[in-house]
A and B are shown apart, each in its own frame.
Chain A
């Protein structure tokens, strides 16, 4: 894959997030979206007239509405503007960030507003995801995004006791973070003494994947406003720069149901490529925060190894030693992550939004208690697709391996 250096730098200048919840009966879709649009415009100190282009995205089929971007003009402010709809499954929010970055970097637009949303209460999430599968084969067999494969593999490699405790430790840490984040959909107040009880008694969904491990189904929207370097510096004192991003797809995978380890993951592939071309040797040392798209606690634990290019049980130790906590060596999801709130079309964008807020230093009660200069955000979707984005506080990074 050829990758060229950006034409011009792009900064995040405005962020809006609704509160995430199980249902929003009081607003319809465009009304819910508008709450985040309003917030982002206010955050940037902009008016809708200042926006050159609107990107809109969510999962297809989740609300059973076709072309929602048309209907949603009422809330998005796209009236009379260029507007594009993107829908790439779970990665949608990440793809929106990439597309907005590309549109501004290319010089096509100076200010782009990207909107990700979902109102999962309106549809049937697991049914909707199952419908992405091959209609002649996999639709009959798939159960949405619910799978115990990561659990099977972790248990195989590290033994049931250690693997289950690691997954539940990860889960409790995420809940502790979620309790600090006022936007969380689910924040239970879990504590360490509940570990054994939850491991044993949380209702099982599939195999060792239990209800407590799995992400929620949430309603909510996220909006980010992007601007060219020149504009960004005029708009805000604290732009957050998009340094680079990578998208890795793989074929539709009928062969995922194996127990062959280590298998190829797009996460590791994406991480290797992205770090290499940016000259990042030790990602664990380099980044100050990682907002990961972690659909379940099992995946969260497993994927730490992939994203940080770790070996053996280094990822388990990070979890076991609680180094992924907000005040730890490598804070993972100070927001609470996807398990705390998952409005799918917004979810991946929330990762970038939350990482950017950490860099700005105004994340709120879940602000990391030390300076954040370099952030990583991931997206996950489709049949194991990855989008990985690097955010920076300062425009001072070295060239790396671009053409």
Chain B
């Protein structure tokens, strides 16, 4: 495209945005993570009004705004893939080297899916409805990656 101004003096300067921050998981989020870490158990919360089990857990029901933070429900470590994508590029912010699979996994007994890494499977062999189980991490990071990944049952 022809520019209608002189571009002789236009150039690019490399820059950076680097800043520290801290994320507080809160009481509900901390319980979720520490239970995965210490007991290898995945917990959700249930809204009795809407009859929905949410994973990851939350303090309030997004629909009726009821306080549900104490309605803990223990879920199994088994669920099914309801959707997935194959990550085919590498970036320093990604948890794995490409190619790897990120899947929406709905645990048995839960009404909401959660995103996690699906491993121990050829990316091209993943199908919707595939039964998967949680594989827990050996080393804790105090994050959702205390579940290292999910793998086909």
**A interface vs B, CB < 8 Å?**
23-28, 30-31, 34, 37-38, 48, 61, 63-64, 73-75, 77, 79-80, 119, 121-124, 127-128, 131, 135-136
Contact = CB atoms under 8 A, between A and B. Distances in A.
A113 to B, nearest CB: 12
- 5 closest A-B pairs (Cβ-Cβ)? A28-B26, A64-B21, A27-B26, A31-B59, A127-B19
A290 B58 CA distance: 39
Interface stretch (B60-68, B84-92, B103-111, B116-124): B60-68
Contact of A74 (B21, B25, B59): B59
Contacts, number: 71
A36 B129 CA distance: 41
Given A74-B59, A77-B65, A79-B62, A31 B26 contact: yes
B60 A124 contact: no
B19 A128 contact: yes
B71 to A, nearest CB: 15
Give the contact-size bracket for chain B.
Answer: 20 to 34
Which residue among B19, B24, B27, B60 has the maximum number of chain A CB atoms within 10 Å of its CB? B24
Contact of B20 (A23, A119, A127): A127
A108 to B, nearest CB: 23
Given A31-B59, A75-B59, A25 B24 contact: yes
A135 B14 CA distance: 10
A75 B69 CA distance: 12
A74 B19 contact: no
A117 B62 CA distance: 18
A124 B19 contact: yes
B94 interface: no
B17 interface: yes
Given A26-B27, A28-B29, A136-B13, A34 B21 contact: no
Contacts of A30: 58-60
Given A25-B26, A26-B26, A31-B26, A63 B58 contact: no
Interface in B25-58: 25-29, 58
Nearest to A61: B19
A23 B17 contact: no
B60 A74 contact: yes
Given A34-B59, A64-B23, A73-B62, 17 more contacts: A23-B24, A26-B26, A26-B27, A27-B27, A28-B23, A30-B59, A30-B60, A31-B59, A48-B64, A74-B60, A75-B59, A77-B62, A122-B24, A123-B22, A124-B19, A131-B19, A135-B15
Contacts of A25: 24, 26
A122 B21 contact: yes
29 contacts: A24-B24, A26-B26, A27-B24, A27-B26, A27-B59, A28-B25, A28-B26, A30-B59, A31-B26, A31-B60, A37-B65, A48-B65, A63-B21, A63-B23, A64-B19, A74-B58, A74-B59, A75-B59, A80-B63, A119-B24, A121-B22, A123-B22, A124-B19, A124-B21, A127-B20, A128-B19, A131-B17, A135-B13, A136-B13
